[in-house]
Amino acid sequence: MTDKTFGAYVALGSNIEPDENIRRGLALLREVRDTRLVAESSRYRTAPWGIETQPDFINLVVALSTGLTPLELLEATQEIERRLARRRDLKNGPRTIDLDILLYDGQMLDEDDLKIPHPGLLIRDFMLVPLIEIAPEAMHPVRGLPVRALTEEIRYRQILERLPSEDEHQGCG
């Protein structure tokens, strides 16, 4: 790790072999240089949006401590998507993995290929709810409020259920 580290929050989602691809995506995130995974939300089963005749998604959010710049982190997440054969030929279509940077160290960024905070963060429950689970006090840099105070802005409610963690699952039965 470099001397200067930043807090970043990244959403992961998959609806093609989601258990396997989420596991692989997390493993590859742990290999990103100058980056450490510091928290992981529950997994949520969510309804597809846009193209509804596809399997449900599994979504979660992770917190990272990173020495990478936002654009370097974007490059790293896009490389993970490439390694897991993410295809972009159908907007809102099925995907092996999707990684989106939600927040980065209180910064605002408006580049062609990267917008921070993520434009969907406040309007999609599958981004905001898992973020609140692991970082309720994370500040939204545009609104100047902690994310836990912004749930009334959710327009798209796609979460169907919170899935049991491996620990909870093993305790059942």
pLDDT in tens, 58-109: 999 999 999 999 999 999 999 999 999 877 666 767 899 999 999 999 999 9
Residue 67 resides in a domain: yes
- Give the model's confidence band at 53: pLDDT under 50 very low, under 70 low, under 90 confident, else very high: confident
Please count the structural domains in the chain: 1
79 or 172, greater pLDDT: 79
Residue 34 resides in a domain: yes
pLDDT in tens, 61-75: 999 999 999 999 999
Residue 43 resides in a domain: yes
* CATH number of 53's domain: 3.30.70.560
Pairing type for strands 6-14 and 159-162 reads unpaired
Q: Which residues of 1-13 are buried (b: 16+ CB within 10 A; e: fewer)?
A: eeeebbbbbbbbb
- Give the model's confidence band at 167: pLDDT under 50 very low, under 70 low, under 90 confident, else very high: low
DSSP letter for 168, please.
H
Residue 1 resides in a domain: no
- What's the pLDDT score for residue 166? 62
Q: Does residue 100 carry a catalytic annotation? A: yes
Q: Distance between CA 128 and CA 154 in Å, rounded?
A: 8
How big, in percent rounded to 5, are the helix, strand and coil portions of the chain? 30, 30, 45
Non-local CB neighbours of 64 within 8 Å, separated by 6+ positions? 7, 8, 9, 10, 29, 35, 36, 37, 38, 73
- The single residue of 43, 95, 124, 125 carrying the catalytic annotation is 95
- The single residue of 43, 98, 124, 125 carrying the catalytic annotation is 98
- The single residue of 86, 105, 124, 148 carrying the catalytic annotation is 86
Residue 20 resides in a domain: yes
Residue 165 resides in a domain: yes
- What's the pLDDT score for residue 86? 79
Q: Does residue 98 carry a catalytic annotation? A: yes
Pairing type for strands 44-46 and 57-66 reads antiparallel
- The single residue of 3, 19, 56, 100 carrying the catalytic annotation is 100
* Prediction pTM value: 0.92
Helix 18-30 vs helix 70-83: crossing angle, to nearest 10: 140
